[in-house]
Amino acid sequence: MKTPTLPQVEQIPETLPRTQLLAEPDSNTDVLIVGAGPTGLACAIEIQKAGFKALIIDKGCLVNSIYRYPTNMVFFTTPELLEIGDIPFTTSAAKPTRLDALEYYRRVAEHYHVDARLYEWVKTITGEDNDFRVATSDRHGAIHDYRARKIILATGYYDLANQLEIPGEDLEKVFHYYREPHPYFDTDVLVIGGKNSAAEAALDLWRHGSRVTLVHRGAQIHNHVKYWVRPDIENRIKAGQITAHFNSTVQEIREDCVVLRTPSGRLRLKNDFVFALTGYHPDYDFLRSAGVEFATEQMRPVCDPETLESNVLGMYVAGVIVAGSRTNEIFIENGRFHGKLIARHLAEKLGGSNPNFPLDAT
Ligand SMILES: Cc1cc2nc3c(=O)[nH]c(=O)nc-3n(C[C@H](O)[C@H](O)[C@H](O)COP(=O)(O)OP(=O)(O)OC[C@H]3O[C@@H](n4cnc5c(N)ncnc54)[C@H](O)[C@@H]3O)c2cc1C
């Protein structure tokens, strides 16, 4: 018997057509931005709005730092305070998750057709105002050259972890970034630090079956720990579920144990893994190699606070690096406005080609 043929139905696409990010090679731009974090993105958008051509280069993926945060991280900040480019950010829960933020910034980049070259590492910046040269290397090792009239450095602080400078820190079992608890089930884990990252990692590890010891050089869990995390960690410590040593430091890490210096003397603990979550700092060497100078205190880059132009004419600093070592002073909530400050200055200097650009937008 002949099989009846079904009427032809038009194939329904799995997803709606989407705008794609620009990808064609381009070596000349008005403004080259190093770093595709929330700040770099906000800068590109504001510069485009001011009528200039902006190009972002990032050594990793889009919003690389947020991508590398703990997998199940929940922001402290409510979504509207993370918005850039006047694009609303709404979430069903009061606080956005890391995944919400990744989705949001990706959509914003698409919406504004941000020209971002990802997985390209900016190695050197030479030249001068109106004629900067930027050399990058991509993940295949190929070198690329760009020319730009202006430069914005928005390189963040999350790539370089503060080191403990103790023996054993370079062992494979020692991490400076925490992602997920599963691999550490039924193991002895030491968490070093007393701020958000350490408190959250300790709780997550404990909840997923690790035996957790927390070591902090301070006398207690830091005051700035998220208001819903602090009582949780303090109660786990009180209940003896997480062992905590305050006013204590790690002296040495060995393959099978750690040695602590505590107020009651030296302590040797059995250990499988160590999370040293003691903060991060900007890449001062890279910034210095571009000619940026630093104030002696707190390693803040020298810049005009009104325009964010650094001591190098035509080179701007933006985002968390503006705060130097005080990385808790500038975050997405306030760094997201740096793009507007810089775009306004550029419009004044270069004569903004977009008459609609509001010079008073801050
Ligand atoms: C766990 C955690 C939770 C946080 N929660 C909050 C919160 O709730 N609210 C809030 O406002 N802030 C929060 N922050 C802080 C916030 O994430 C940072 O302040 C913010 O990411 C800084 O943005 P940025 O664009 O300046 O730098 P980043 O987001 O770090 O972006 C810098 C980019 O530069 C790139 N880069 C660096 N060097 C080079 C180079 N040489 N060449 C090419 N690319 C380069 C990096 O790959 C990176 O993508 C949190 C931080 C952490 C670690």
pLDDT tens sequence across 36-73: 999 999 999 999 999 999 999 999 999 999 999 999 99
Which residue has the least CA distance to atom 1 on ligand 1? 69
Pick the CATH number of 174-276 from 3.40.50.10490, 3.40.50.970, 3.50.50.60, 3.30.450.40: 3.50.50.60
Global pTM reads 0.90
Give per-residue burial for 203-242: e unless 16+ CB within 10 Å, then b.
bbbbeeebbbbbbbeeeebeeebbeebbebbbebbeeeeb
> What's the gap in Å between 3 CA and the centre of ligand 1?
60
- The number of beta carbons lying within 10 Å of the beta carbon of residue 170 is 8
Instruction: List all residues 6 or more positions away from 223 whose beta carbon is below 8 Å from its beta carbon.
Output: none
pLDDT tens, residue order, the chain (362 aa) = 444 444 454 555 555 555 455 444 458 999 999 999 999 999 999 999 999 999 999 999 999 999 999 999 999 999 999 999 999 999 999 999 999 999 999 999 999 999 999 999 999 999 999 999 999 999 999 999 999 999 999 999 999 999 999 999 999 999 999 999 999 999 999 999 999 999 999 999 999 999 999 999 999 999 989 999 999 999 999 999 999 999 999 999 999 999 999 999 999 999 999 999 999 999 999 999 999 999 988 999 999 999 999 999 999 999 999 999 998 899 999 999 999 999 999 999 887 554 434 433 33
- Mutational test site, ligand 1, from 39, 57, 65, 153, max ligand atoms within 8 Å of CB: 65
Q: Which long-range contacts (C-beta less than 8 Å, at least 24 apart) are formed by 294-299?
A: 294/324, 295/324, 298/323, 298/324, 298/325, 298/326, 299/324, 299/325
List all residues whose CB is within 6 A of at least one atom of ligand 1. 34-40, 57-60, 64-65, 69, 73, 75-77, 121-122, 154-156, 158-159, 197, 283, 286, 319-320, 331-333, 335
- For residue 74 the two structure tokens come to 């929940």
* Nearest atom, ligand 1, residue 95 CA: 8
CA pair distance 76, 109, nearest whole angstrom? 23
Q: What is the three-state SS of 249-313?
A: EEEEECCCEEEEEECCEEEEEECCEEEECCCEECCHHHHHHCCCCECCCCCCECECCCCCEECCC
Question: Residue 82's closest CA among 34, 37, 20, 36?
Answer: 37
Q: From the CA of 267, how far away is ligand 1's center (Å)?
A: 36
The neighbour count for residue 48, using CB atoms within 10 Å, is 21
At residue 23, the 3 state secondary structure works out as coil
For residue 57, the ligand 1 atom closest to its alpha carbon is 43
Angle 257-258-263 (CA atoms, 0-180°, nearest 5)?
A: 140
Residue identifier of the C-alpha nearest atom 37 of ligand 1:
155
* Helix segments in 309-351, DSSP class H: 332-335, 338-350
CA of 149 to the centre of ligand 1 (A): 25
Specify the amino acid at residue 129: D
Task: Out of 331, 334, 337, give the residue to mutate to test ligand 1, the one with the largest number of ligand atoms within 8 Å of its CB.
Answer: 331
Contact 79, 43 (CB under 8 A): no
Ligand 1 centre to CA of 195 (Å) is 17
Pocket test residue of 56, 83, 158 for ligand 1, highest count of atoms within 8 A of CB: 158
User: Would you list the domain boundaries of the chain?
Assistant: 25-160+280-350, 174-276
Q: Which of 9, 49, 182, 43 is nearest to 116 (CA)?
A: 43
Instruction: Classify strands 143-153 and 28-34 as parallel, antiparallel or unpaired.
Output: parallel
Helices (H), the chain: 38-49, 64-67, 98-111, 196-207, 230-238, 284-289, 332-335, 338-350
Beta strands 54-57; 116-117: pairing state: parallel
> What is the three-class DSSP state of 234?
helix
Could you read off the pLDDT of 295-342 as tens digits, one per residue? 988 999 999 999 999 999 999 999 999 999 998 899 999 999 999 999
Q: Centre a 10 Å sphere on the Cβ of residue 129 and count the other Cβ atoms it contains.
A: 14
Q: Would you put residue 165 in left (φ > 0), alpha (ψ -120 to 50) or beta?
A: left
Composition of the chain by helix, strand, coil, percent to 5: 25, 25, 50
For atom 35 of ligand 1, the residue with the nearest CA is: 35
Candidate from 68, 105, 155 with most ligand 1 atoms within 8 A of CB, to mutate: 155
Atom of ligand 1 nearest to the CA of 40: 25
Residue nearest atom 33 of ligand 1, based on CA coordinates: 35
The atom number, within ligand 1, closest to the CA of 64 reads: 49
Residue closest via CA to ligand 1's atom 3 equals 75
Distance 39 CA to ligand 1 centre (A): 8
> To which CATH superfamily is domain 25-160+280-350 assigned?
FAD/NAD(P)-binding domain (3.50.50.60)
Q: Spell out the residues 6+ positions from residue 184 whose beta carbon is closer than 8 angstroms to its own.
A: 205, 208, 209, 210, 272, 273
Kindly give, in sequence order, each residue whose CB lies less than 8 Å from that of residue 126, ignoring residues fewer than 6 positions away: 132, 133, 135
Structure-block tokens of residue 11: 């194939």
Indicate if 174-276 has the same CATH topology as 25-160+280-350: yes
Nearest atom in ligand 1 to the alpha carbon of residue 280 is 53
Residues sharing a CB contact under 8 Å with residue 220, sequence separation 6 or more, in sequence order: 194, 246
At 350, give phi and psi (nearest 5°).
-100, -5
